[in-house]
């Protein structure tokens, strides 16, 4: 059992660039790399100092927001979305990127798998409903079945324990 008590409330934002493959196909991989760097910069600039912004894989990033309400996390994600779409990129010949965002709360009783599944389900719905938007999955909602990558038990111990501020030994 990889359950871990966070001991603290917070939110997880998961996001990725819309149609990133098209960026690489049209403008090249070097432009794609520049776009990823800008995306990370926008996320970091619009996150709180106490948040953790991390690349989750490919063009997907997560923002861990400890001691943050769902409403505040949604506002933060919306600000990130708006800043990104309003910033033209030289590497994309003056066009800008858009991104989709999935948000969920982190409860003390949550496991990594449950939190990621809820956030990923919201991201999936954001993509399916037209992209370039912020959606959330409520903690009591019934998420759709979405394929999510399962973190190892060692990863579970490392990132979820951050919400409580306690170090946890990998299992």
- Nearest CA to 130 out of 12, 31, 11, 18 is that of 18
Q: Specify which residues 156 forms β-bridges with.
A: none
49 among known catalytic residues: no
Number of Cα atoms under 13 Å in the Cβ half of residue 128: 10
Q: 76: which 2 tokens?
A: 């933060």
Dihedral angle computed from the Cα positions of residues 70, 76, 77 and 81, in that order, rounded to the nearest 10 degrees = 160
- Considering 34, 59, 78, 105, which one is annotated as catalytic? 59
Q: Are 111 and 156 in contact (CB under 8 A)?
A: yes
Give the Cα separation of 128 and 44 in Å (integer). Answer: 26
Give the Cα separation of 171 and 164 in Å (integer). Answer: 17
- Nearest CA to 123 out of 156, 149, 87, 90 is that of 149
By annotation, the residues acting in catalysis are 59
């Amino acid at each position: 059992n990889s359950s871990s008590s966070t001991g603290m409330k917070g939110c997880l934002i998961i996001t990725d660039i819309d149609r990133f493959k098209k960026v690489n196909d049209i403008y090249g991989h070097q432009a794609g790399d520049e776009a990823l760097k800008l995306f990370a910069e926008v996320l970091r600039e619009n996150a709180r100092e106490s948040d953790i912004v991390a690349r989750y894989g490919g063009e997907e990033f997560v923002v861990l927001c400890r001691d943050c309400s769902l409403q505040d996390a949604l506002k933060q994600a919306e600000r990130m979305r708006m800043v990104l779409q309003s910033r033209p990129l030289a590497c994309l010949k003056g066009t800008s990127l858009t991104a989709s965002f999935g948000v969920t709360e982190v409860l003390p009783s949550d496991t990594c798998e449950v939190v990621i599944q809820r956030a990923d389900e919201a991201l999936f719905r954001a993509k399916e409903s037209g992209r370039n938007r912020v959606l959330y999955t409520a903690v009591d909602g019934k998420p759709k079945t979405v394929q999510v990558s399962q973190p190892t038990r060692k990863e579970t111990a490392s990132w979820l324990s951050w919400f409580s501020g306690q170090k946890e030994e990998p299992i």
